Amino acid sequence: MIRTLVVGLGNMGLSHALAYHADPAFEIVGLVSRSWPSNLPEALASYPHRTDYMAALNELKPDLVCIATYSDTHADYACAAMDAGAHVFVEKPLATNVKDAERVVAKAVETGRKLVVGYILRHHPSWQRLIAEARALGGPYVFRLNLNQQSSGPTWEVHKTLMQTTPPIVDCGVHYVDVMCQITDAAPVEVRGMGLRLSDEIAEDMYNYGHFQVLFADGSLGWYEAGWGPMMSDTAFFVKDVVSPNGAVSIRMPDTARSDDIDTHTQTSKLRLHKAGLGHQDLDMADEPDHNGLCAREQAYVARAITENLDLTRHMSDAVRSLAVCLAADESVRSGQPVKL
Protein backbone atom coordinates (compact mmCIF):
# COMPACT_ATOMS: atom_id res chain seq x y z
CA MET A 1 0.00 0.00 0.00
CA ILE A 2 0.99 3.62 -0.62
CA ARG A 3 1.53 5.30 2.76
CA THR A 4 -0.16 8.69 2.41
CA LEU A 5 -0.02 11.95 4.35
CA VAL A 6 -2.87 14.40 3.67
CA VAL A 7 -2.05 18.07 4.26
CA GLY A 8 -5.00 20.48 4.44
CA LEU A 9 -8.51 19.43 5.42
CA GLY A 10 -10.74 21.90 3.62
CA ASN A 11 -13.30 20.75 1.04
CA MET A 12 -10.74 19.25 -1.34
CA GLY A 13 -8.50 17.79 1.35
CA LEU A 14 -11.40 15.99 3.01
CA SER A 15 -12.60 14.61 -0.33
CA HIS A 16 -9.13 13.32 -1.18
CA ALA A 17 -8.72 11.83 2.29
CA LEU A 18 -12.01 9.96 1.90
CA ALA A 19 -10.79 8.66 -1.46
CA TYR A 20 -7.58 7.34 0.13
CA HIS A 21 -9.58 5.82 3.01
CA ALA A 22 -11.81 3.87 0.60
CA ASP A 23 -9.09 2.74 -1.83
CA PRO A 24 -7.09 -0.34 -0.76
CA ALA A 25 -4.11 0.95 -2.77
CA PHE A 26 -3.55 3.59 -0.06
CA GLU A 27 -2.92 3.67 3.69
CA ILE A 28 -3.38 7.04 5.41
CA VAL A 29 -0.58 7.55 7.93
CA GLY A 30 -1.64 11.01 9.07
CA LEU A 31 -3.71 14.14 8.52
CA VAL A 32 -2.21 17.63 8.85
CA SER A 33 -4.18 20.79 9.53
CA ARG A 34 -3.84 23.80 11.79
CA SER A 35 -6.94 22.67 13.72
CA TRP A 36 -9.16 19.60 13.87
CA PRO A 37 -12.07 20.24 11.45
CA SER A 38 -15.52 20.38 13.02
CA ASN A 39 -16.97 18.65 9.97
CA LEU A 40 -14.49 15.74 9.93
CA PRO A 41 -16.23 12.60 8.60
CA GLU A 42 -16.39 9.70 11.03
CA ALA A 43 -14.39 7.55 8.59
CA LEU A 44 -11.36 9.80 9.15
CA ALA A 45 -11.62 10.34 12.89
CA SER A 46 -9.16 7.62 13.94
CA TYR A 47 -6.20 8.76 11.84
CA PRO A 48 -3.27 10.54 13.54
CA HIS A 49 -3.56 14.34 13.42
CA ARG A 50 -0.64 16.74 13.28
CA THR A 51 -0.48 20.53 13.09
CA ASP A 52 3.13 20.90 11.86
CA TYR A 53 3.69 19.76 8.27
CA MET A 54 7.47 19.43 8.34
CA ALA A 55 7.41 17.56 11.64
CA ALA A 56 4.76 15.18 10.31
CA LEU A 57 6.76 14.63 7.11
CA ASN A 58 9.88 13.69 9.09
CA GLU A 59 8.02 11.60 11.66
CA LEU A 60 5.58 9.64 9.46
CA LYS A 61 7.81 9.17 6.37
CA PRO A 62 4.99 8.82 3.79
CA ASP A 63 5.33 7.42 0.28
CA LEU A 64 2.87 10.06 -0.98
CA VAL A 65 1.96 13.53 0.23
CA CYS A 66 -1.40 15.01 -0.78
CA ILE A 67 -1.18 18.82 -0.62
CA ALA A 68 -4.58 20.51 -0.39
CA THR A 69 -3.55 23.69 1.40
CA TYR A 70 -3.76 27.28 0.13
CA SER A 71 -1.91 28.03 -3.09
CA ASP A 72 0.97 30.01 -1.60
CA THR A 73 2.24 26.89 0.23
CA HIS A 74 2.05 24.47 -2.69
CA ALA A 75 5.53 24.88 -4.16
CA ASP A 76 7.48 24.72 -0.88
CA TYR A 77 5.41 21.86 0.52
CA ALA A 78 5.75 19.84 -2.70
CA CYS A 79 9.53 20.31 -2.90
CA ALA A 80 9.93 19.38 0.77
CA ALA A 81 7.93 16.20 0.23
CA MET A 82 10.00 15.14 -2.77
CA ASP A 83 13.25 15.92 -0.95
CA ALA A 84 11.97 13.59 1.79
CA GLY A 85 11.47 10.82 -0.77
CA ALA A 86 7.72 11.09 -1.23
CA HIS A 87 5.63 11.33 -4.38
CA VAL A 88 3.28 14.32 -4.53
CA PHE A 89 -0.31 15.00 -5.40
CA VAL A 90 -0.88 18.77 -5.23
CA GLU A 91 -4.09 20.67 -5.74
CA LYS A 92 -4.21 23.27 -8.47
CA PRO A 93 -2.77 25.78 -9.05
CA LEU A 94 0.67 24.22 -8.82
CA ALA A 95 2.13 27.48 -7.51
CA THR A 96 1.40 31.20 -7.40
CA ASN A 97 4.02 32.07 -10.03
CA VAL A 98 5.60 30.35 -13.02
CA LYS A 99 9.11 30.29 -11.53
CA ASP A 100 7.90 28.31 -8.52
CA ALA A 101 5.85 25.98 -10.71
CA GLU A 102 8.93 25.25 -12.81
CA ARG A 103 10.92 24.72 -9.60
CA VAL A 104 8.47 22.02 -8.47
CA VAL A 105 8.62 20.25 -11.84
CA ALA A 106 12.43 20.42 -11.81
CA LYS A 107 12.41 18.87 -8.34
CA ALA A 108 10.25 15.99 -9.58
CA VAL A 109 12.67 15.36 -12.44
CA GLU A 110 15.71 15.63 -10.13
CA THR A 111 14.33 13.24 -7.48
CA GLY A 112 12.49 10.86 -9.79
CA ARG A 113 9.31 11.33 -7.76
CA LYS A 114 5.85 11.40 -9.35
CA LEU A 115 4.10 14.76 -9.40
CA VAL A 116 0.36 14.80 -10.15
CA VAL A 117 -1.48 18.13 -10.19
CA GLY A 118 -5.19 18.27 -9.31
CA TYR A 119 -6.72 18.79 -12.73
CA ILE A 120 -9.82 16.90 -11.72
CA LEU A 121 -11.68 17.38 -15.02
CA ARG A 122 -9.08 15.20 -16.75
CA HIS A 123 -10.60 12.23 -14.92
CA HIS A 124 -14.24 13.00 -15.68
CA PRO A 125 -15.75 10.80 -18.44
CA SER A 126 -18.09 13.53 -19.68
CA TRP A 127 -15.35 16.14 -19.95
CA GLN A 128 -13.20 13.57 -21.74
CA ARG A 129 -16.12 13.08 -24.15
CA LEU A 130 -16.50 16.85 -24.66
CA ILE A 131 -12.81 17.15 -25.52
CA ALA A 132 -13.00 14.19 -27.94
CA GLU A 133 -16.13 15.52 -29.69
CA ALA A 134 -14.61 19.00 -30.02
CA ARG A 135 -11.39 17.64 -31.48
CA ALA A 136 -13.40 15.55 -33.96
CA LEU A 137 -15.10 18.73 -35.23
CA GLY A 138 -11.71 20.25 -36.09
CA GLY A 139 -10.43 23.76 -35.44
CA PRO A 140 -9.79 26.58 -35.18
CA TYR A 141 -11.98 26.92 -32.11
CA VAL A 142 -13.84 29.48 -30.07
CA PHE A 143 -13.92 28.53 -26.38
CA ARG A 144 -16.64 30.12 -24.21
CA LEU A 145 -16.19 28.98 -20.62
CA ASN A 146 -17.10 30.41 -17.25
CA LEU A 147 -17.68 29.47 -13.62
CA ASN A 148 -19.25 32.11 -11.40
CA GLN A 149 -20.09 31.25 -7.80
CA GLN A 150 -22.72 33.11 -5.78
CA SER A 151 -20.93 32.33 -2.53
CA SER A 152 -22.06 33.32 0.96
CA GLY A 153 -21.44 32.30 4.56
CA PRO A 154 -18.58 29.79 5.03
CA THR A 155 -17.98 29.49 1.27
CA TRP A 156 -17.52 33.25 0.94
CA GLU A 157 -15.09 33.12 3.88
CA VAL A 158 -13.07 30.45 2.03
CA HIS A 159 -13.12 32.54 -1.15
CA LYS A 160 -11.91 35.63 0.73
CA THR A 161 -9.04 33.61 2.19
CA LEU A 162 -8.12 32.29 -1.26
CA MET A 163 -8.10 35.84 -2.60
CA GLN A 164 -5.41 36.85 -0.16
CA THR A 165 -3.04 35.35 -2.74
CA THR A 166 -4.99 34.19 -5.81
CA PRO A 167 -7.78 35.79 -7.90
CA PRO A 168 -10.68 33.64 -9.19
CA ILE A 169 -9.47 33.73 -12.80
CA VAL A 170 -6.26 31.96 -11.71
CA ASP A 171 -7.63 29.58 -9.08
CA CYS A 172 -10.43 28.22 -11.28
CA GLY A 173 -9.10 29.31 -14.66
CA VAL A 174 -6.28 26.76 -14.80
CA HIS A 175 -8.85 23.95 -15.16
CA TYR A 176 -10.49 25.49 -18.18
CA VAL A 177 -7.36 26.73 -19.93
CA ASP A 178 -6.14 23.14 -19.57
CA VAL A 179 -9.31 21.99 -21.38
CA MET A 180 -8.72 24.56 -24.15
CA CYS A 181 -5.14 23.40 -24.59
CA GLN A 182 -6.14 19.73 -24.72
CA ILE A 183 -8.63 20.49 -27.50
CA THR A 184 -6.50 22.71 -29.73
CA ASP A 185 -2.96 21.40 -29.05
CA ALA A 186 -1.78 24.83 -30.26
CA ALA A 187 0.41 27.07 -28.13
CA PRO A 188 -1.23 30.05 -26.41
CA VAL A 189 0.44 33.24 -27.67
CA GLU A 190 -1.35 36.24 -26.13
CA VAL A 191 -3.66 36.98 -23.18
CA ARG A 192 -5.91 39.97 -22.50
CA GLY A 193 -7.60 40.32 -19.11
CA MET A 194 -9.99 42.56 -17.22
CA GLY A 195 -11.12 42.45 -13.60
CA LEU A 196 -13.12 44.38 -11.02
CA ARG A 197 -13.23 44.50 -7.21
CA LEU A 198 -16.89 44.17 -6.22
CA SER A 199 -16.52 43.95 -2.44
CA ASP A 200 -14.96 46.04 0.32
CA GLU A 201 -14.31 42.78 2.18
CA ILE A 202 -11.25 41.96 0.06
CA ALA A 203 -7.92 43.75 -0.29
CA GLU A 204 -7.82 46.89 -2.42
CA ASP A 205 -5.30 45.30 -4.80
CA MET A 206 -7.46 42.18 -5.36
CA TYR A 207 -10.55 41.63 -7.54
CA ASN A 208 -13.29 39.02 -7.15
CA TYR A 209 -14.57 39.19 -10.73
CA GLY A 210 -12.48 38.81 -13.87
CA HIS A 211 -12.43 37.55 -17.42
CA PHE A 212 -9.79 37.09 -20.05
CA GLN A 213 -9.25 36.21 -23.67
CA VAL A 214 -6.45 33.94 -24.84
CA LEU A 215 -5.25 33.69 -28.45
CA PHE A 216 -3.65 30.50 -29.78
CA ALA A 217 -1.10 29.93 -32.53
CA ASP A 218 -3.66 28.12 -34.73
CA GLY A 219 -6.06 31.09 -34.65
CA SER A 220 -8.25 29.64 -31.89
CA LEU A 221 -9.43 32.03 -29.23
CA GLY A 222 -10.83 31.48 -25.77
CA TRP A 223 -12.86 33.43 -23.23
CA TYR A 224 -12.96 32.56 -19.56
CA GLU A 225 -14.89 34.32 -16.76
CA ALA A 226 -14.91 33.75 -13.00
CA GLY A 227 -16.46 35.62 -10.11
CA TRP A 228 -16.90 34.85 -6.40
CA GLY A 229 -19.15 36.41 -3.82
CA PRO A 230 -22.70 37.06 -2.59
CA MET A 231 -23.24 39.68 -5.29
CA MET A 232 -22.67 37.32 -8.24
CA SER A 233 -25.57 36.47 -10.53
CA ASP A 234 -26.71 32.86 -10.76
CA THR A 235 -27.87 33.41 -14.35
CA ALA A 236 -25.56 31.94 -17.00
CA PHE A 237 -23.04 31.11 -14.29
CA PHE A 238 -22.00 27.87 -16.00
CA VAL A 239 -21.24 28.32 -19.71
CA LYS A 240 -19.24 25.56 -21.39
CA ASP A 241 -19.26 25.99 -25.17
CA VAL A 242 -16.76 25.03 -27.88
CA VAL A 243 -17.43 26.28 -31.42
CA SER A 244 -15.62 25.36 -34.65
CA PRO A 245 -16.26 25.97 -38.36
CA ASN A 246 -18.01 22.58 -38.42
CA GLY A 247 -20.32 23.01 -35.45
CA ALA A 248 -20.25 23.14 -31.67
CA VAL A 249 -20.32 20.99 -28.56
CA SER A 250 -21.76 22.35 -25.34
CA ILE A 251 -22.57 21.31 -21.80
CA ARG A 252 -26.24 21.85 -20.99
CA MET A 253 -27.20 22.04 -17.33
CA PRO A 254 -30.72 21.58 -15.91
CA ASP A 255 -32.64 24.66 -14.75
CA THR A 256 -32.32 23.43 -11.16
CA ALA A 257 -28.48 23.75 -11.18
CA ARG A 258 -27.10 26.10 -8.52
CA SER A 259 -23.85 28.06 -8.59
CA ASP A 260 -23.11 27.27 -4.92
CA ASP A 261 -23.34 23.48 -5.38
CA ILE A 262 -19.84 21.99 -5.75
CA ASP A 263 -21.16 19.03 -7.77
CA THR A 264 -22.49 21.50 -10.36
CA HIS A 265 -18.91 22.54 -11.11
CA THR A 266 -18.02 19.12 -12.52
CA GLN A 267 -21.24 17.39 -13.54
CA THR A 268 -22.43 17.91 -17.09
CA SER A 269 -26.01 16.54 -17.23
CA LYS A 270 -25.84 16.27 -21.03
CA LEU A 271 -23.74 17.30 -23.98
CA ARG A 272 -25.27 18.88 -27.07
CA LEU A 273 -23.35 18.14 -30.27
CA HIS A 274 -24.28 20.47 -33.12
CA LYS A 275 -22.98 19.88 -36.65
CA ALA A 276 -23.30 22.83 -39.03
CA GLY A 277 -26.17 22.24 -41.45
CA LEU A 278 -27.03 18.87 -39.90
CA GLY A 279 -28.80 19.79 -36.67
CA HIS A 280 -27.94 18.68 -33.16
CA GLN A 281 -27.78 15.56 -31.01
CA ASP A 282 -28.12 15.45 -27.22
CA LEU A 283 -25.75 13.02 -25.54
CA ASP A 284 -26.98 12.00 -22.09
CA MET A 285 -24.21 11.52 -19.56
CA ALA A 286 -25.48 8.67 -17.38
CA ASP A 287 -23.81 7.50 -14.15
CA GLU A 288 -21.72 10.61 -13.70
CA PRO A 289 -19.49 10.62 -10.62
CA ASP A 290 -20.32 13.16 -7.92
CA HIS A 291 -17.55 15.32 -6.48
CA ASN A 292 -16.26 12.66 -4.08
CA GLY A 293 -16.54 9.98 -6.75
CA LEU A 294 -14.47 12.13 -9.08
CA CYS A 295 -11.81 12.61 -6.40
CA ALA A 296 -11.71 8.82 -6.06
CA ARG A 297 -11.01 8.47 -9.80
CA GLU A 298 -8.31 11.10 -9.59
CA GLN A 299 -6.55 9.34 -6.72
CA ALA A 300 -6.83 5.99 -8.52
CA TYR A 301 -4.82 7.68 -11.30
CA VAL A 302 -2.24 8.77 -8.72
CA ALA A 303 -1.89 5.14 -7.62
CA ARG A 304 -1.39 4.07 -11.24
CA ALA A 305 1.18 6.81 -11.81
CA ILE A 306 3.23 5.43 -8.90
CA THR A 307 2.76 1.68 -9.30
CA GLU A 308 2.96 1.63 -13.11
CA ASN A 309 5.66 4.32 -13.36
CA LEU A 310 3.60 6.45 -15.75
CA ASP A 311 5.41 9.13 -17.74
CA LEU A 312 4.05 12.43 -16.40
CA THR A 313 6.20 14.74 -18.52
CA ARG A 314 3.27 16.12 -20.55
CA HIS A 315 1.05 16.28 -17.47
CA MET A 316 3.58 18.45 -15.64
CA SER A 317 4.33 20.73 -18.60
CA ASP A 318 0.59 21.22 -19.21
CA ALA A 319 0.16 22.26 -15.57
CA VAL A 320 2.85 24.92 -15.93
CA ARG A 321 1.46 26.13 -19.26
CA SER A 322 -2.13 26.59 -18.06
CA LEU A 323 -0.87 28.39 -14.95
CA ALA A 324 1.28 30.68 -17.11
CA VAL A 325 -1.78 31.68 -19.17
CA CYS A 326 -3.86 32.50 -16.09
CA LEU A 327 -1.04 34.42 -14.43
CA ALA A 328 -0.60 36.37 -17.67
CA ALA A 329 -4.32 37.18 -17.49
CA ASP A 330 -3.82 38.51 -13.95
CA GLU A 331 -0.86 40.58 -15.17
CA SER A 332 -3.02 41.98 -17.96
CA VAL A 333 -5.79 42.88 -15.50
CA ARG A 334 -3.31 44.82 -13.37
CA SER A 335 -1.37 46.48 -16.20
CA GLY A 336 -4.27 47.14 -18.58
CA GLN A 337 -2.13 45.76 -21.43
CA PRO A 338 -2.14 42.50 -23.43
CA VAL A 339 0.55 40.03 -22.44
CA LYS A 340 2.56 38.10 -25.03
CA LEU A 341 3.55 34.56 -24.11
The helix or strand, by DSSP H or E, that contains position 26, with its residue range, turns out to be: strand 26-32
202 and 230 housed in the same domain: yes
9 Cβ contact partners less than 8 Å away, ≥ 6 residues apart: 17, 31, 32, 33, 37, 40, 68
Say if residues 85 and 3 touch (Cβ distance below 8 Å): no
The pLDDT score that the predictor gives to residue 255 is 58
104 and 143 housed in the same domain: no
Flag whether 260 is in a domain: yes
Flag whether 195 is in a domain: yes
213 and 267 housed in the same domain: yes
Flag whether 70 is in a domain: yes
**Calpha distance 282→273 (Å, rounded):** 6
Flag whether 175 is in a domain: yes
82 and 147 housed in the same domain: no
Q: Which of 94, 117, 140 is the last residue of a domain?
A: 117
Q: State the amino acid at position 209 in one-letter form.
A: Y
Domain count, the chain: 2
34 and 93 housed in the same domain: yes
The helix or strand, by DSSP H or E, that contains position 80, with its residue range, turns out to be: helix 74-83
Q: Which of 67, 94, 117 is the last residue of a domain?
A: 117
Q: Which of 117, 138, 171 is the last residue of a domain?
A: 117
The pLDDT score that the predictor gives to residue 38 is 81
What is the CATH number for 130? 3.30.360.10
Flag whether 270 is in a domain: yes
65 and 142 housed in the same domain: no
The helix or strand, by DSSP H or E, that contains position 182, with its residue range, turns out to be: helix 173-184
Is the entire prediction scored with pTM above 0.75?
yes
**Calpha distance 6→302 (Å, rounded):** 14
Q: Which domain holds residue 6?
A: 2-117
The pLDDT score that the predictor gives to residue 254 is 58
94 and 230 housed in the same domain: no
Say if residues 8 and 32 touch (Cβ distance below 8 Å): yes
Mind listing the pLDDT tens digit of every residue in the chain (341 residues)? 999 999 999 989 999 999 999 999 999 999 999 988 888 999 999 999 999 999 999 999 999 999 999 999 999 999 999 999 999 999 999 999 999 999 999 999 999 999 999 999 999 998 999 999 999 999 999 999 999 999 999 999 999 999 998 899 999 999 999 999 999 999 999 999 999 999 999 999 999 999 999 999 999 999 999 999 999 999 888 899 999 999 999 998 655 544 444 444 445 568 999 999 888 888 877 767 888 999 999 999 999 999 999 999 999 999 999 999 999 999 999 999 999 99
Paired residues of 225 in beta bridges: 146, 211
162 and 276 housed in the same domain: yes
96 and 181 housed in the same domain: no
DSSP 235: S
Flag whether 318 is in a domain: no
The pLDDT score that the predictor gives to residue 35 is 86
Name which of 83, 118, 101 is nearest 6 in CA terms: 118
SS3 content of the chain, % helix, strand, coil (to 5): 40, 25, 35
